[in-house]
Amino acid sequence: MTVYVLRRLAQTLLVLFVTSALVFGGLYLVGDPVEILVNPQADQEERARTAAALGLDRPALEQYWIFLKGAFTGDLGKSFVFGRSALEVIIERMPATLELAFLAMVISVGLGIPLGLYAGLRPHGFAARSIMAGSILGFSLPTFWVGLLLIMVFAVQLGWLPSTGRGPTTEFLGVQVSILTWEGLRYALLPALNLALFKLSLIIRLTRAQVREQSLLDYIRFARAKGLTRARVIGVHLLKNILIPLITVIGLELGSVIAFAVVTETIFAWPGMGKLVIDSIFQLDRPVVVAYLLVTVFMFILINLVVDLLYSALDPRVRIAEVKS
């Protein structure tokens, strides 16, 4: 297990290095941040002073080398726009994105598994067919369109929920969180629902497929033949086995929710990392964009590592394979 973890950490360093090189090079080719940061009527001397102050007058390879040396000490550069550490700016916006992702996954898992379980156990019923038809809609509708529709219906027409922004926050374990208060939760519901729709559809369909597949296996038939109650067969035997592939998918989807919350945060003006990186791209704030992508990639890899460890803990066959290897 230790060797496996060390190997994954080495892979993480390699992925972070490649990501930083690609993003840094891409942003270098896109344009000159000085053109956006200085007054359009500024003379050439002022532009040169700004470029020198930001370190943009040096060759690209030298700029990247300076960035790498700083990254090894935890310094991912200084934001051109905010004038502060780029990592500090990212961490400041991180709680908003994480709480939105957490709420979206709670909605997806809390509704997806029961609905998928019901659709798998009663596949020919009207309710099950309706659930599966709804899941197809969840896959098909674009996120930005669903977000605008949610705002139009629940905020504009009905006036039940706020349309944009983040509600009042309260401190929890030293972090400002909004979903622990009713008013803050009202602000988070629409963006979380928009973010959860695709994941909800995926979990419903995956759960149904697993239920249909596992229900035909011998261990389920044997449990029924022993005279176990239907609730025990489903809750103890069936549910436990369908959770093994579900945990892998849920873990991967949690990472994608964090990484791809950009559209939802932009539509609902949610002050998270996604909206920050969109603003930074338009402003060519290179340190913030690079820091965001490195932090996101690291979180994605960390979540995958935790999922792999949970998978081996739940499935004895994986542990046996690891011991043999």
- pLDDT of 323: 44
Name the pLDDT band for 316 (thresholds 50, 70, 90).
Answer: low
Tell me how far the alpha carbon of residue 173 is from its chain's centroid: 22
Backbone angles phi, psi at 311, to 5 degrees: -60, -45
Q: Please check the confidence at residue 325 and state whether its pLDDT lies above 60.
A: no
Radius of gyration of the chain, Cα coordinates, nearest whole angstrom: 24
Name the pLDDT band for 43 (thresholds 50, 70, 90).
Answer: low
Give the residue with greater pLDDT, 298 vs 316: 298
Which tens digits make up the pLDDT trace of 8-24?
Answer: 777 778 888 887 788 77
List own/partner pairs for 59-65 with CB under 8 A and 24 or more apart: 60/25, 60/28, 63/24, 63/28, 64/21, 64/24, 64/25
Residues 6+ apart with CB under 8 A from 324: none
Which tens digits make up the pLDDT trace of 70-81?
Answer: 778 877 778 888
Across 111-119, average pLDDT: 89
Distance in angstroms (rounded) separating the CA atoms of residues 197 and 107: 9
Name the pLDDT band for 167 (thresholds 50, 70, 90).
Answer: confident
Most confident of the ranges 150-154, 246-250, 287-291 = 150-154
Question: Rounded to whole angstroms, what are the CA distances from 125 to 71, 114, 122?
Answer: 57, 15, 6
DSSP secondary structure code for residue 155 in this structure:
I
- Six-digit token string for 285: 């704030």
- Six-digit token string for 29: 């080719």
Name the pLDDT band for 321 (thresholds 50, 70, 90).
Answer: very low
Distance in angstroms (rounded) separating the CA atoms of residues 180 and 269: 20
Structural contact between residues 72 and 320, judged by C-beta atoms closer than 8 angstroms: no
Distance in angstroms (rounded) separating the CA atoms of residues 259 and 303: 12
Nearest partner of 274 among 206, 191, 151, judged by Cα: 191
Distance in angstroms (rounded) separating the CA atoms of residues 116 and 210: 9
Across 164-182, average pLDDT: 82
Q: Please check the confidence at residue 31 and state whether its pLDDT lies above 50.
A: yes
Across 59-71, average pLDDT: 78
Question: What is the pTM (predicted TM-score) of this model?
Answer: 0.78
- pLDDT of 40: 64
- Domain 92-324 is found in CATH 1.10.3720.10: yes
Pairing of strands 175-177, 170-172: antiparallel
Nearest partner of 188 among 104, 296, 273, judged by Cα: 104
Distance in angstroms (rounded) separating the CA atoms of residues 190 and 211: 30
Structural contact between residues 54 and 286, judged by C-beta atoms closer than 8 angstroms: no
Q: Where are the domains of the chain?
A: 2-71, 92-324
Backbone angles phi, psi at 165, to 5 degrees: 85, 175
Which tens digits make up the pLDDT trace of 120-129?
Answer: 888 888 888 8
